[in-house]
Amino acid sequence: MATDASELSTIETNVPARLDRLPWARWHWMVLVGLGTVWILDGLEVTIVGSLGGRLTESDSGLGLTTSQVGLAASIYVAGAVLGSLFFGWLTDRLGRKRLFMVTLGVYLLATVLTAFAHTPWWFFACRFFTGAGIGGEYAAINSAIDELIPARVRGTVDLIVNGSYWLGAAAGAALTVVLLNTNIFPANVGWRLAFGLGALLGVCILFVRRNVPESPRWLFIHGQEDDANHIVDDIEQQVRRDSGEDLDDVSEDAVLTIEQRGSTSFTEVARTMLRDYRSRSLLGLALFIGQAFLYNAVFFTQALVLTTFLGVDSASVGWYIVPLAIGNFLGPLILGRLFDVVGRKTMITLSYVASGVLLIGTGALFQAGSLSATTLTICWSVVFFFASAGASAAYLTVSEVFPMETRAMAIALFYALGTGIGGIIGPVLFGKLISTEDTGPVAFGYYLGAGLMIAAGLVELWIGVDAEQRSLEDIAAPLSAQDDSAAHEGSASAARPSAASSGRRLPGATTGRSMWSPSPFRTSRAATDMYGDREVASLVEALADRELNRQALADAVGARRWGPGRFGTALARAERSGQVVHRGRLYARASQSAQREGGTGQPRSTA
C-alpha cells in the first residue's frame, strides 16, 4: 500500500546489516524455491517453443506456421518480455517487490493457458506476447527481491544458481517435447498444446510457495514502512535462530544508515542516476546484456531449425539434443558460481564472456566446414554455453548490484529491455532468415557475430567492471535516500544531499571526485578478499583438533549448511592449500597431527 507523504520522515536503520549477517537457513531455501524457480518456467517456455519449431511448421499441427513465422513468434515473445519488464519494473519500484512478483506470475499463467488453445497464428502471437510480458516483469521483481534478502557473502553464488535454474526448465521442456511430439502417443495437433498446459501447472505450484515470501525490508524502510521492515526482519531472525540453534552475531553500530524516506522515484531521477551519476556502470550493463541476449535468443529460438534443416534431425527427436545442452548451461553457473564470490566478479565475468566467444568462433568454423554432426554440434554448443551461461547469469547479478536501491528494479528492467530488445528481437529474426537460405555460410556468420558481441562485452567488463563480491548492496551503491553521503555516485563530485564532511562520517559507497568513468569508489583491480573465509577455515581446523573426519562428518561438525551454497567446499579447499588441513582417502585431519604421525617432519602427507 502506498505511504502518505505526511508519514515520511528521516530514520536510522540497520536492516541491511541484519540481513547480511544471517547464517544460511531453511528460510533462505524457501526464498529460493518461491522466487528462483520462476526461471525454470522461463526455460520451459523458451525451450518448448524452440523444440516445437519444427512441429509448428507442419500442416497437421493445427497452426501451420512458416519458418519465418516461428522466428517471428520468438521475437514477439521477446518484445512482450521487453515491454513487460519496463512496465512491471516501474511498478516494482513504486509498489513493492511482493505485489509485483505475484501479479507477473499471474499474467504468465493466464497467457500460457490461453496459448494451448491457439488455432490461428495471430492468437498464438498474442499469447506469446503476454507470456513474455509476465516473464519480463518477473526479471525485475525477482532479481530485486532475491538480492535484497540474500546475505552478501553468498549473493553471487545464489544469484548465478537461481538464474542458471532456467536450464533445468529447458531440460525439462526438451524432455517433455520428446514425449509430447511423439505422434504414436499424441496427435500432432494435441501434444504441443499439452506442453503449454504443463508449464501453467508448474506455475500454479510456484504461486502457492511464493505467498510465503515477504516483502523486501529494504524497500519497506525506504518507503515509510520501517515498522513493517523491522517486524519482518525480527521474524526472519527468529526462524534462523530456531533452525540453527545458535545466537546471531551482533550488528555493528557503524552499520546504521540514515535514510530520508520517499514515496516513489521519478523517471527523471532514475535517468539522472543512470546516465549522469553511474554512466560507466550503465555502459557495462548494456554491453553485458546485448552480448548474452543476442547469443541466447538467436541460438535457442532457432536451434531446432538448425538441427532439422542442416543435420536431418526429425522434429520429434530435437528434444534429445536440447537436454544435454541445457544440462551444460546449468552446470556452468552451478560449478563456477562460487568463484564469483571468491575469485571476484571482474575476473570471472570477463573469463566467462571471452571464453564462450572464442569457443563459439571455433564452433562456427567447424559448422561452416561441414565437420559437425548433430551430436558433435550439440557437444560444441554445450561447452560454449557452459561458460556463456555463467556470464549471462552474472549480467543480471551485475545490474541488480551496482545501482541504488530506489532504482534497482527499474535498472534491471531497463537493461533487460535494451539488451534483449537489441539482441533478443534482432537475433531470432536474423537467424530465421539465415537458416531459411539453407546455406551453412550465413548461419556461421551469425555465430561469428554472436561471438564478437560476447568477447566485446567481456572486454568492457575487464575495463570498467565493479568489485561487488561480498559487499553489502548499500556499500556498492548507497541509496539515493541516504543522508550521510553526498556523493554515492561514481562520477559526481557534488550532489543535492548534505555533504559527507558535514555528516561527520562517510557512508560506504561514497566517491571522492574520481573520473566519471570510474566504475567503483574503490580500486576495481584489487584482489578479492573473503571476509568470512578466515572464520570458516578456523572452524574447520578447530573441528579437527583431536580427531579425523570424513567430508560429511566435518560439514556437520562445523554447521556448514548455515554458511550458504558452496561455502564449505571453498573453505575446505582453502584450508588444504594453506597447509592447515590435509587428507588421505576419505578422512581429513589437522596438518600438525599428520606431521606428528609422519615422524615430525612438519610436512603434510600426500593426498594421493
Query: Are 280 and 516 within 8 A, CB to CB?
Result: yes
Q: Please give the class, per CATH, of domain 533-597.
A: mainly alpha
What pLDDT is stored for residue 601 in this prediction?
A: 40
What pLDDT is stored for residue 180 in this prediction?
A: 77
Q: pLDDT tens digits for 284-322? A: 999 999 888 888 777 766 677 788 888 888 866 777 887
Confidence of residue 3 (pLDDT cuts 50, 70, 90): low
Same fold yes or no, 14-220+265-464 and 533-597: no
Cα 109 from Cα 85, distance rounded (Å): 16
Cα 560 from Cα 342, distance rounded (Å): 17
pLDDT mean over 319-326:
80
Q: Which amino acid is at 515?
A: S
Query: Are 148 and 216 within 8 A, CB to CB?
Result: yes
Cα 208 from Cα 230, distance rounded (Å): 25
What pLDDT is stored for residue 301 in this prediction?
A: 61
What pLDDT is stored for residue 347 in this prediction?
A: 93
Domain boundaries, the chain: 14-220+265-464, 533-597
Torsional class of 604: left (φ above 0), alpha (ψ -120 to 50), beta (otherwise): beta
258 DSSP β-pair partners? 12
- Rg of the chain over Cα atoms, rounded to whole angstroms, equals 25
Q: Given 3.30.830.10, 1.20.1250.20, 1.10.10.10, 3.40.640.10, which CATH number is that of 14-220+265-464?
A: 1.20.1250.20
Picking from 84, 174, 127, 66, the residue whose alpha carbon sits closest to that of residue 420 is 84
What lies within 8 Å, CB to CB, of 344 at 6+ separation is: 467, 469, 527, 528
pLDDT mean over 244-269:
82
Q: How far apart are the first and last CA of the chain?
A: 62
Question: Which is it for the CA torsion 395, 81, 194, 316, positive or negative?
Answer: negative
Query: And the C-alpha cell for 93?
Result: 519500484
% of the chain exceeding 90 in pLDDT: 18
Question: Rounded to the nearest 5°, which phi and psi values hold at 298?
Answer: -65, -45
What lies within 8 Å, CB to CB, of 360 at 6+ separation is: 295, 384, 388, 447, 448, 450, 451, 454
Question: Rounded to the nearest 5°, which phi and psi values hold at 446?
Answer: -60, -40
Task: Of 189-193, 308-312, 356-360, 400-404, give the lowest mean pLDDT range.
Answer: 189-193
Helix pair angle (279-300, 38-56), 10° resolution: 40
Taking all residues of the chain, what is their mean pLDDT, rounded to a whole number? 79
Q: pLDDT tens digits for 542-554? A: 888 888 888 888 8
* 320-349 CB burial, b ≥16 within 10 A, e <16: bbbbbbbbbbbbbbbebbbbbbbbbbbbbb
Residue 177, classified by CB atoms within 10 Å of its CB into exposed (0-12), middle (13-18) or buried (19+), is buried
What lies within 8 Å, CB to CB, of 1 at 6+ separation is: none
Query: And the C-alpha cell for 391?
Result: 556470464
Residue 587, classified by CB atoms within 10 Å of its CB into exposed (0-12), middle (13-18) or buried (19+), is middle
pLDDT mean over 135-148:
84
